[in-house]
Amino acid sequence: MDERRREFLDDLLATANPSGYETAGQRVWIDYVSEYADDVRTDDYGNAVAVLNGDGDSEVAFAGHGDEIGFIVRDVTDDGFVRIARIGGSDKTVSRGQHVTVHTDDGPVSGVIGQTAIHLRDRDDDSVPEISEQHVDVGATDSDEAEALLDRGDPITLDQSVTELANGRLAARGMDNRIGTWAAAEGLRRASERGTDATVYAVSTVQEEVGVQGAKMVGFDLDPDAAVAVDVTHATDTPDSPGKHSSGVELGGGPVVARGSANHPVLVEGFREAADGDDIDVQLQATGSRTGTDADAFYTSRGGIPSLNLGLPNRYMHTPVEVIDPDDLDAVADLLAGFAVRAEEFAPFSVSI
């Protein structure tokens, strides 16, 4: 990954983008993709669509979701502590003892999610309190001080910088799913460099973490011939991965092409052929019921949009230390571009019966 692409990824990861509060992150994405697109537009909820016009008949959309999990200010106690609720699937087992930022209309407010010291806890009780029972300490001494700093409904995100590990691997909060929006923008840029007859849409959706809501809006409004949802998927190559969830997906093994449920067989074939043609290693993943991504919304939009979930191996999903291999991410962008330049060969995207 060259310096400019890494800078774009770092900017996305540094910008808090909790579901329902995605404006800042969407601006970062639009600023980048606007350099390479023929047009960029947004809808009333902030879904962003960049267009690369082609001369052919096919229209393909590459979409990542721009939002991330987090918390929200639910209440303030008389003593000035902040009670919180979840935004999306935040994990109660990793939240305590973390630095956080409360994003207010007047600017960021620093805080910490309290954790009772080990000396004061019952050593025989390993239970973890629910998010609703946890609290943020912003340093206030009473409710008046706290309420002067923040409002109920302000979003909260964990503070975590990007850390480079051995072999160039990266750890950060929010890889889910900054990598998808990064890849969508890069797929469009690389498709432009290679030349494509198909029209390519790069999309950054909102509110995926609270029910793939943005994809429902985009799928209906855009109505492309094919939609590819780029998202993280579980790398089950760590010592603590439960065997019953083993998928064979490994970090560094390349992009993951999902099969089953929402994943249209013509798109599966097209991406596997594009990978072979461009000498890109891919992994396969079984999704017999649902993908858990924006693909689940795209494929049932309107009369049905042929869709695919293209995954990036990710360790420790929905924690502040998600780990990816940037070589996998570069390969995802290359694979998207490789499919774009071949899209006309596979159109129309329909099964033969």
pLDDT digits (tens, 9 = 90+) for 73-85: 999 999 999 999 9
Q: Active site residue: 59, 208, 250, 345, which one?
A: 208
In order of 41, 49, 216, the CA distances from 221 in angstroms are 12, 11, 9
Number of domains, the chain = 2
Q: Which of 134, 158, 182 is the last residue of a domain?
A: 158
pLDDT tens digits, residue range 251-260? 999 999 999 9
Q: Which residues line the annotated binding site?
A: 65, 176, 209, 231, 318
pLDDT confidence band for 122 (50 / 70 / 90): confident
Give the model's pLDDT for residue 281.
98
Q: Are 229 and 298 contacting, i.e. CB atoms less than 8 angstroms apart?
A: yes
Q: Give the domain extent around 236.
A: 3-68+173-346
pLDDT confidence band for 44 (50 / 70 / 90): very high
Same domain flag for 75 and 42: no
Same domain flag for 292 and 148: no
In order of 80, 155, 218, the CA distances from 16 in angstroms are 24, 9, 22
Q: Which residues line the annotated binding site for Zn(2+)?
A: 65, 176, 209, 231, 318
Is 208 one of the annotated active-site residues of the chain? yes
3-class state of residue 41 by DSSP: strand
Transcribe 128-160 into DSSP letters: ---GGG-EEE-S-SSHHHHHHH--TT-EEEE--
Place of tokens 């570069």: 330
Give the model's pLDDT for residue 98.
97
Same domain flag for 14 and 135: no
Of 54-58, 245-249, 317-321, minimum mean pLDDT range: 245-249
Give the model's pLDDT for residue 123.
83
pLDDT at 136 over 80: yes
Q: What percent of the chain has pLDDT over 90?
A: 92
pLDDT tens digits, residue range 191-211? 999 999 999 999 999 999 999
Same domain flag for 14 and 87: no
Is residue 269 in a domain? yes
pLDDT confidence band for 244 (50 / 70 / 90): confident
Same domain flag for 150 and 180: no
The pTM (predicted TM-score) of the whole model is: 0.96
Is residue 62 in a domain? yes
Q: What is the mean pLDDT of residues 129-134?
A: 96
Same domain flag for 191 and 293: yes
Same domain flag for 223 and 333: yes
pLDDT at 243 over 80: no
